[in-house]
Structure 1
Amino acid sequence: MKYITLCIVLLFLSSCKTETENLLTNKEDYNKYLASGPSKTTSKYFELWNSKIKPDSSQLMSFGIVGGEYNRYFQNTGDIQYLKKAEQVLAKAVSIAAIGKAGYYRALARNYISQHRFREAAQLADSARTINSGVDQTLGLLFDVNMELGNYDKAESYLDSLKNMNDFGYLIRLAKWNDHKGDLATTIRFMEKAKEKAEDSKNTGLRLWSYTNLADYYGHAGRIEDSYRHYLKALELDPGNAYAKKGIAWIVFSYEKKAEEAMRILDSVTKNYKAPDYYLLKAEIADFIGDDLKSLSNFDTYFKQVQNPAYGDMYNAYNVSLYLDRTDQFDKALRLSRKEVGNRPTPESYSLLAYSHLKKGDKEKALEIVQEHIEGKTFEPGILLYAAEIYKATGQIEKAEALKTELVGAVYELGPSSEENILNL
């Protein structure tokens, strides 16, 4: 009896130790940032330049400044109306500019990238390239848009033409390219160099971008504490930064399994930040804790928000995943995934198309798409999980097992709910 009691005590202590080892966040680190109010969406500076714009205005500088401010408001609030307003004023600037036109082409192209209008962005980038102004900035844009379109050979050629190890823009793109190739250690090394450049520049925007992106990469590499510290560094600069708060919520949820605390963090974000995908994460957390009512409420909020036609194709990939994994609307998933492949022929889009065919019962078509468009072309765990399920369904057991071994180490990135799916491969 004493032996049994001792075993139970030791088991309990071992369990407590494991749970403690998985705790690295502290409410006191981030609570002060959760109370931040709504971001300002006007200023004397904005009002001054906006007042200069009339229906027949040719105040070119006003359009550029006001467009930039609208874009900043979109980043701070997640409200799609500001991105669309930025598009309007930048399109007007493109139409009237005689001097500095390449810069307006680039600005409008970046706006279109944010809207997932990648082919239109590519056309604008090509237009900017015909003007011999800001050549390196245009080459960087061409790299970005070709990565989004899955034109990886083209993207690499633009990256090669930019080579400058002292340039922040080159370093972040070099990091992205190595991430695409699956070389995470090199990705992080270049991103750390970019962070140093950003800190030397004292540019708040570049520092924020560096901290949040490096935090993401650290998370992918399993360096969770480094990831957490960099999200906190971002919040020190910008207490309202929704992306950094979402990153901390993910650590709390996926690594520490403290679902209620993660939900508390996200609830504070969605009071003022309007991006629909935050509600999908809240629904995932609610599912994890078995709160069906909260899960349905958050899914409902998401679907209501993405009905806004201003979003266009921005949430196609999210919607396909929901049709496949949650609502079993496989016909809708197939139609929308075909459209997404047309918009953005990347391994991610093809994985959605392949999985849609699998769910529709066309296993051989699903396998054909995986073999042609995914095998050896991506290292993203979400894509590989779909591929593994297709391999298993089509009798490619060795390939499924190989991916299963790889995916076991990606549970943090994919989320706690993925663990059962991976183990069942």
Structure 2
Amino acid sequence: MTTTELDVFTAMESNVRGYCRDWPTVFTTASGAWLRDEADRHYLDFFAGAGALNYGHNNPVLKSALLKYIASDGITHGLDMSTVAKRELLETVRDLILTPRNLDYKVQFPGPTGANAVEAALKLARKVTGRKTVLSFTNAFHGMTLGALSVTGNAAKRAGAGVPLEHATPMPYDGYFDNTTEDFGWMQRVLDDSSSGFDRPAAVIVETVQGEGGVNVARPEWLRHLASLCQSRGILLIVDDVQMGCGRTGPFFSFEHAGITPDIVTLSKSISGYGLPMALVLLKPELDQWAPGEHNGTFRGNNPAFVTATAALREYWADNRLAEHTAANGNYIANTLSNIIAGHEGISTRGRGMVAGIVFDDPSQAGKVCRTAFERGLLVETSGSMDEVVKLLPPLTLSSDELNHGLGVLADSINLVCGDNQ
């Protein structure tokens, strides 16, 4: 890709652009797990729209439903009006997702992004409880709007707010102290001590796997302890499943591993199935204390996204096949990565299901591995507080050959950057 071909982006697009700097090419088409650029180079996608494309690019089942809907002059922009597309989505969510899991949630359409869902969840928790503070966790990421930033850990992202980020208190995530400090000991003590100066929070917001934070995985017992602590003290539990929901860790919801039932759940990214903007807030019925129009947004009724979401749920979540496939692939990825890093000093792995992280003691190596992989036709990104983790988010639907090809490119890239251990 020549500099001239990229000039218009440099000249006209804001400096805030990010991914295009890591992947300096102009993409033209995409299908399944692959993207193609103007030079007819093909790239295997282990990024999947930051988790928004769990079913791959231009999934044919979803595309067919979308094209049929558009061709029939179906509603595109609906705000919160009742439409056939919305009714079919709500019925499908109820019948295929909530009822089989014995979950009783109302559904709110807060706006098109995960940050919209998080903002709505925080507002609702404060409204219902009458309290202001929300507890979050170290290395958390919940979005780039002010409320979401207040419960996000990354200092650089928080600094972009330009104003104080208040009414949020960070707590140590599972493993933050390398398991040398009792989990929740301090939190329980100050919550129960009337002289601690610690106000009881409205809610706790948590990711069961912190994607942007470095693929930090909370143990099921840690999540159960947190849920019990919240329930016994009248604190609402919000699970942010924006990136890890929709099957990324295996089951549809990432919290199913722990056997807990959050009070509020936020979903976005792959809930539309096709990369179309869409978000949901799931809330227990007794928490649905909104006044009409109290939280709204112009693009909360993206009906084409409702259509593709319904098609995705019907195609992939009417049975357990995708969940079982993801769990099996997750085990295969974990075992393969362990073999890849064997013999290399200062590298470890972690993950759950089909999200995996390769952790480098030398953070610069993670970026070098990603750049080397790109040169060889594989898209992967870094995450973590120092960009020390190579994060893998391949489409859940990719083939075994594609998975092996990507892991092979990754192995070659690690060996080139860190020295061949063979």
Same-fold call, TM > 0.5?
no
Max Rg structure = 1
Higher helix share: 1
TM-score by length of 2: 0.29
Of structures 1 and 2, the one scoring higher in RCO (CA 8 A, sep 6+) is 2
The normalised TM-score by structure 1 is: 0.28
